[in-house]
Structure 1
């Protein structure tokens, strides 16, 4: 799933190509992709984009009157098209929505989604805050206003595992499964620690790891072409998606804990004092 660094790179890429350009057509190809009906998405046609914004993992393509808000979910992606593509055909393919720009330059983009679980979402709204997922977002972790004191306040009183707190979009916007693994590895902290049990020093270390990991990832994503962002995201990871491989810091084997629809990766030596975390799902399979 694209997270803050990849979505921020997409935001910059689209801002260079969309701002000042007018919409020629918007065609939802997959029935499931469009989550709003008033105003209709066709109301964007003829309007010029004025800005491209990011709200956590959401992209906002703004005109003077409307915003096209996009959430790529787990398997969605955006493909820029300089040349007119073949006619869109509704069906079972990956194409979900096509937007074409007006003018002799042409161009535009396709939204695609792989797999059978269709979660990619597009909203045509007058204000991005009308989108429920945007309205509930917590603060942006790379904003100047996101200070150590603010972060400590968000953790205080939360009797939940720190991994889940970092992923909770209503607490902090934009961090998902992958970067929460990376942040906790950089902080040398177990994903099972309770947020409210962290000492002041541990909170400070975690805050530094969060900001440093995300800043480095954003800089890296900006240097990568949009078509390579997904692959390059995984290549830069130290523990996430690297189960069974050596930790680049200590050489211990990266371990995994599996859940019903996701998994986390960590280094026992760096994060849990050498003790593997219980993986109940795998334990049941071995019985």
Structure 2
């Protein structure tokens, strides 16, 4: 799942490569990912419009088009954007392909059709589910420790689930939540109510430090290949049964509900909560 760091790179690349270009033609190959707020022929309506801005909020990217329309993209688990040559074949994962006036094809890929693309008027964004249901962005100005602690008190349950829910801060998913709680030295299964003031302070620091470091790393690794996931450099996520880089212990993995959690039982002591 692309999270705030990856989608920040996507925003930066698209700002450079597609803003100012017009959509010359549109192909909707898999319409199941496409959403609208009213009856509209998306392929016909989007043709001729130019991209005027690209923004990111949480785990979504918004491509604003001329004359008050936009594509709001929630990649979810398997969605990706790709810049391609018109000569590149359309793979079976391509759901939408836009041919642009600058000779680039902008494609949305999603092999499991889990993502959502909203084509909507910019003055109706409040009607888009998910867009208004998240907290302050994790890459915006950090909350003070006091404000972060106050927001955290609203939530119950395991700390990893609170981080990925998006209401505390927006933009953290499965991978970076593993990295954040590892850096903070907190078990992903600890209940929020059981965290000490010192642990909350460590969590607050990690929530903002980890994604910012990731953006710097990903700028070097990804380049313009925004459809490629690069996470081999992470400390614990995706590293099951490898050595913990901090203590040398074995990294454990728990799989549940199509989600993996990688953590170090030595560095992050705590019991798994059983429902």
Cα contact 1:252–1:269 (8 A) shared by 2: yes
Partner of 2:93: 94
Deviation readout 1:205-235 (Å, 9 max, x if unpaired):
11111111010001111222243764422x1
Cα contact 2:10–2:226 (8 A) shared by 1: no
Correspondence 1:260 to 2:257: yes
Cα contact 1:182–1:238 (8 A) shared by 2: yes
What secondary structure is seen at the aligned counterpart in 2 of 1:219? helix
- Give 1:78 deviation, angstroms: 1.6
| RMSD over equivalenced CA pairs, Å | 2.2
Given the superposition, is the C-alpha separation of residues 137 and 248 from structure 1 closer, same or farther in structure 2, using an over 3 Å criterion?
A: same
Partner of 1:8: 8
- 1: distance between equivalents of 2:113 and 2:176? 23
- 2: distance between equivalents of 1:53 and 1:144? 16
Partner of 2:58: 56
Aligned length: 269
Question: 1:67-82 residue pairs with structure 2 within 5 A?
Answer: 67-82=70-85
- Greater share of strand: 2
Given the superposition, is the C-alpha separation of residues 182 and 34 from structure 1 closer, same or farther in structure 2, using an over 3 Å criterion?
A: same
Correspondence 1:214 to 2:217: no
- 2: distance between equivalents of 1:244 and 1:226? 32
Partner of 2:117: 122
What secondary structure is seen at the aligned counterpart in 2 of 1:173? coil
Partner of 1:204: 201
Partner of 2:42: 41
Given the superposition, is the C-alpha separation of residues 226 and 279 from structure 1 closer, same or farther in structure 2, using an over 3 Å criterion?
A: farther
- Give 1:149 deviation, angstroms: 2.6
What secondary structure is seen at the aligned counterpart in 1 of 2:143? coil
What secondary structure is seen at the aligned counterpart in 1 of 2:150? helix
Cα contact 1:161–1:193 (8 A) shared by 2: yes
Partner of 1:284: none
- Give 1:237 deviation, angstroms: 1.2
Given the superposition, is the C-alpha separation of residues 146 and 171 from structure 1 closer, same or farther in structure 2, using an over 3 Å criterion?
A: same
Partner of 2:223: 225
Question: 1:242-281 residue pairs with structure 2 within 5 A?
Answer: 242-272=239-269, 277-278=271-272
TM-score by length of 1: 0.86
TM-score by length of 2: 0.90
Partner of 1:283: none
- Give 1:112 deviation, angstroms: 1.2
Q: Structure 1: which 5+ runs fail to align? A: 281-287
Q: Structure 2: which 5+ runs fail to align? A: none
